[in-house]
Amino acid sequence: MLEKFRVENCPDSVYYIQNFLTVEDENLLLKSVYNVPQTKWTQLSRRRLQNWGGVPHHNGMIPEAIPQWLQKWIEKVAEFQAFSNLPNHVLINEYKPSEGIMPHLDGPLYSSTIATINLGSHTVLNFYKIHLCKLLHGIDERDEDFIDNSMFNVQNNDFMNQTLKRSTRCFSHNKACTENIKN
């Protein structure tokens, strides 16, 4: 099912599902993201985030329930059969224009599969190959993005050779934590 979404001319493990959400679904999900108590947000130096499904710890993740409004999207992501287990951890990162995140690998607690859902604005996610089977991923810190053919998935894109101004965006990072701490 996932194979038809493989992005050409880039590492085999990158897929892109355009219009994964309808506009109505995106608005509903954004409303849910912003209706959580302020205490669910953690402010970091260049973004803020919500952590759902558990608290990462060096010995494993301390599991917590995922709210129903997120569970629906986890199940939709799982329909594409990219994960061997249902994703059980979601980070929702909020970036203002000019904010990003340096290239990184996710920690050792997670499986190698990550599914992201972009909300509120476009996102240019950069990949950096560091090893035969490992990719760093990151988002440049800038106010706008120039869309050109140096990007992997711009074929048939209405925005080719245009500069897109960023607005506040949320980036849902769905992951499967491989090690849980038992209660």
Which residue type does 36 have?
V
User: Could you tell me the pLDDT band of residue 61, with boundaries at 50, 70 and 90?
Assistant: confident
Give the mean pLDDT of 38-53. Answer: 94
Element housing 77 (H / E): helix 68-78
Domains, in order of start, for the chain: 3-177 (2.60.120.590)
* Chain CA centroid to CA 159, Å: 22
- Give pLDDT, residue 123: 86
Which tens digit of pLDDT belongs to each residue from 156-183?
Answer: 677 888 899 999 988 787 776 665 655 5
* pLDDT of amino acid 68: 94
Query: CA-CA distance, 84 to 69, in Å (whole number)?
Result: 22
Question: Could you read off the pLDDT of 124-154 as tens digits, one per residue?
Answer: 888 887 765 677 888 899 999 998 888 877 7
pLDDT at 100 > cutoff 80: yes
122, 75, 74: which is closest to 100 by C-alpha?
Answer: 122
Mean per-residue pLDDT for 63-70? 93
Mean pLDDT, rounded, of the chain: 86
Looking at residue 182, its pLDDT comes to 56
**Stretch (H or E) spanning 154:** none
Strands 60-63 and 54-57: antiparallel
Q: What is the model's pTM? A: 0.83
